[in-house]
Amino acid sequence: MSEKELLTILIDHYADLQRILKAEDSKKEVEYQLKLIKAKLESMGIITSDLNMD
């Protein structure tokens, strides 16, 4: 991974956290962000049920 790719990922994470903080319903925004990340991980063959905390 290049430095530019890493910077892009970090900027995306920063923006996601800001969206959560500014959201009227933070829990709903977190759930939405989790759905997006889950879809990305599963598209790369990662089983997300192994990552759940419950």
Query: In the chain, how many domains are there?
Result: 1
Q: Find the radius of gyration of the CA atoms of the chain.
A: 13
- Rounded distance, CA 38 to CA 15, Å? 18
What is the per-residue pLDDT for 51?
82
Answer yes or no: is pLDDT of 49 > 90. Answer: no
The Cα-based distances of 29 to 17, 20, 22, 38, 41 in angstroms read 10, 6, 9, 14, 18
pTM of the model: 0.76
* pLDDT for residue 30 is more than 90: yes
Annotate the chain with three-state secondary structure.
CCHHHHHHHHHHHHHHHHHHHHCCCHHHHHHHHHHHHHHHHHHCCCCHHHHCCC
> Which residue range(s) make up the domain with 19?
3-51
